[in-house]
Structure 1
Amino acid sequence: MTDAKTMTISDVMTKSVISVDASMSINETAKLMEDAKVGAVIVIEDNKPVGIVTDRDFAVKVAAHAYQISTPIKQIMSSPIFSINSDETVRAASDLMHDRGVRKIPVIDNGSIVGIITATDIVNLLAVSVEEDMRDMYFHSVAKIYTNYSPYN
């Protein structure tokens, strides 16, 4: 296994990413996410990624604002989109997640979406890491990403 400090995003990211047009409805997008069993989709407008919609957006934004299910998905997307390159380190991804308060980041190389990295991807590294790498990843990445969700803070 690669050293946790230098492991790149391309080593751990999910390569299959679903994208939807900004005009697609909330309902159509939710059905697509359910069928594909994914927790996030990238919103595309004029062939460019402009936002991201996560399962949490449905739970919070749709319910809180009582949007109709026919509303365009663009209404609830998070934008601007924060992305990262696949050759960046996992540490860089965890820092970006922490700084931006997000748990999913699209991976974009040369303007094309090549994957997505999630906090879960980083946590899953713990299951296959040697003890030294596990400790390092936990204290630098996992603890940092989930700091806002800890009952101890």
Structure 2
Amino acid sequence: MLTVRDAMSHPAITVRPHLSVRAAAARLVTHGFTAAPVVTAEGVVVGIVTEADLLRGRIPAGAAAVDPTPDPPVSDVMTIGPIAVAPDDDMAAVAALLLDHGVRVVPVLDRGHLVGVVTARDVLRRVASRELVSAPRRPGTARAAGPNG
């Protein structure tokens, strides 16, 4: 069985809740990610922010440029309480989870601590190399991120 630990991207690129939308977008672009976990100074995952979250409402209809109004903080646009997985979870089940929930990135938590992320690209890389094939879903492989992970 291929596990999350075998395929995850790590270390995870993260952003803080108070970071501006523009700064978070620059961080994603710089590192080539489409989303990032949002973590507190203590390292607790409180959300996830995607490219779509960062773009939504920033380009007014008919405008030639990005909206010049002050940037909101990431906490205003992030998804709170993202789905998370554990390092020993089955990658086939996580692939199904990504598809079922329409998400491209999930944080990987080990005893409540962020240790990486699994992206759709991580799954695709394993499928392309024939390391990942369909398997039945195991119950309990997905859970909401929180202080106890």
TM-score scaled by structure 1?
A: 0.73
**Does structure 2 conserve the Cα–Cα contact (< 8 Å) formed by 1:82 and 1:105?**
yes
**Does structure 1 conserve the Cα–Cα contact (< 8 Å) formed by 2:47 and 2:80?**
yes
**Does structure 2 conserve the Cα–Cα contact (< 8 Å) formed by 1:53 and 1:76?**
yes
1:55 maps to 2:56: no
d(CA) in 1 for partners of 2:46, 2:71 = 20
Q: Where does structure 2 lack aligned partners over 5 or more consecutive residues?
A: 61-66, 138-149
SS at match of 1:21: coil
Q: Which residue of 2 aligns with 1:3?
A: none
Q: Give the Å deviation of 1:116.
A: 0.6
**Does structure 2 conserve the Cα–Cα contact (< 8 Å) formed by 1:26 and 1:69?**
no
TM-score scaled by structure 2?
A: 0.74
d(CA) in 1 for partners of 2:102, 2:32 = 23
Q: Which residue of 2 aligns with 1:119?
A: 120
d(CA) in 1 for partners of 2:80, 2:48 = 7
Q: Which residue of 2 aligns with 1:77?
A: 78
Q: Which residue of 1 aligns with 2:63?
A: none
Aligned length: 131
d(CA) in 2 for partners of 1:82, 1:106 = 7
User: What amino acid is the match of 2:105?
Assistant: K
Aligned CA RMSD, in angstroms, stands at 2.7
**Does structure 2 conserve the Cα–Cα contact (< 8 Å) formed by 1:20 and 1:41?**
yes
Say which structure is richer in helix.
1
User: What amino acid is the match of 1:123?
Assistant: L
Q: Where does structure 1 lack aligned partners over 5 or more consecutive residues?
A: 1-5, 142-153
Q: Which residue of 2 aligns with 1:144?
A: none
**Does structure 2 conserve the Cα–Cα contact (< 8 Å) formed by 1:27 and 1:69?**
no
The change in CA–CA distance for 1:62 and 1:43 in structure 2 (over 3 A counts) is farther
d(CA) in 2 for partners of 1:67, 1:12 = 39
User: What amino acid is the match of 1:57?
Assistant: D
1:19 maps to 2:14: yes
d(CA) in 2 for partners of 1:67, 1:108 = 37
The change in CA–CA distance for 1:62 and 1:90 in structure 2 (over 3 A counts) is farther
Q: Which residue of 2 aligns with 1:103?
A: 104
Q: Which residue of 1 aligns with 2:31?
A: 36
